[in-house]
Amino acid sequence: MPRYFDCKKLNKKLHLLFQVPISKYAVTLLSIIAIHRLFTSCNVYNYPSVPREQLTDAIYTATVPQLAEKRTKPDCPYDHILQSKEKLQTWEVPKSSKDIGNFSAWGIKDGSYTPEHCQPLFSVAILVTYRNRQRHLDIFLPYMHNFLRKQNIHYKIFLVEQLDNKPWNKGMLYNIGAQRALAERFPCLLLHDVDLLPLAASNLYVCMDQPRHLSASIDKFRFVLIYDYLVGGVLAMRADHYVRVNGFSNNFYNWGGEDDEMADRILSNNLKILRFPREMSEYSMMTHTHEPVNRARETIIKENKIQGHKDGLSSVRYESLQVKAQRLCTWIGVKL
């Protein structure tokens, strides 16, 4: 005789189940939620990216005209950089300028470096917005020069400092830095937070054919991409794309939102947000206190969209501007 499901046995088991104290249910429930959360965050942990083997075809090759004109050396190699597995762990990055060791500024002038023995195929303007973060800057500049000098690229670091005590306006500072970089005819702009340090040697600091979000995997966010249109932290854009989207909005004061609004500009101009694979996109964020949060950011994003993103690179206004060539950066001091 076939054995059918034994309801009696089940009833017995259910009976036993209901005898378990309530706290055990709570623990079980919390464990299920935790496992579920882990799996859902895993999806974003493995965000869509351009595979390592396809990166060479997806990067945007362009230099400043001066470099393109005098081509006497063989092209610099980049494949070994893109293939590199060398990576620092979060605990290995310098925590103070003392940890940097003996930094030598060889080859650097005005924050710029050009490889000597080969012809670079990329010129990149690195724009860093800044106010009152000396501790970060003392680590950021030497760390970045050590990191970038190994990449065979021509680059220049512009530090854009807000000199007044008005609320912080990161978007406007980026636009002001971009004006300068465009005037120097850089074909690629890399917009960089001063508190982020790249960990992977393979994270080549160049633009892609579409806007590229570099800091997709930050230790502060447990190396997870917190949402798919995030472009905050480190973003690389072709100069012509930056102009096409009219740069950042100047309407965001205090902390937050200007990057989300930039994502809106990118997507509404039919551009895409590309990323390198996760293991190439890891960053460590230096700890800091926040500027006050901009609670109106969602509303401003909506209003700007209605106005067709007219406010931006084309409408920057400021009170005064100074430029000073320093060894490790070209400093742009602005009063808004």
Contacts with ligand BGC by CB under 6 A lie at 232, 256-257, 259-260, 297
Contacts (Cβ under 8 Å, ≥6 apart) of 308: none
195 binds, among Mn ion, ligand BGC, none (CB under 5 to 8 A by kind): Mn ion
- Of 207 and 235, CB closest to ligand BGC: 235
How many positions of this chain bind Mn ion (CB under 5 A)? 1
For residue 81, the one-letter residue type is I
**Which of the listed partners (Mn ion, ligand BGC, none) does 312 bind, with a CB threshold of 5 to 8 Å by partner kind?**
none
Cβ-based nearer residue to Mn ion, 152 or 254 = 254
DSSP string, 186-244: -SEEEEE-TTEEE-BTT-----BSS-EE---EEGGGTT--S-TT---SEEEEEHHHHHH
How far, in Å, CA of 308 to CA of 129, rounded? 25
Question: What's the min distance (Å) between Cβ of 167 and ligand BGC?
Answer: 15
Nearest residue to ligand BGC, by Cβ distance, number only: 232
| Closest to 127 (Cα-Cα) out of 205, 225, 208 | 205
| Cα separation, 214 vs 230, whole angstroms | 10
Take residue 332 and report the two structure tokens written for it: 């742009």
Contact set for Mn ion, span 181-200 (CB under 5 A): 195
Beta carbon of residue 317, minimum distance to ligand BGC (angstroms, whole number): 23
Q: Least Å distance between CB 309 and ligand BGC?
A: 17
Task: Select the residue whose beta carbon is closest to Mn ion and give its number.
Answer: 195
Nearer to ligand BGC, 259 or 282 (CB): 259
Q: How far apart are CA 230 and CA 248, in angstroms?
A: 14
The contact set with Mn ion (CB under 5 A) reads 195
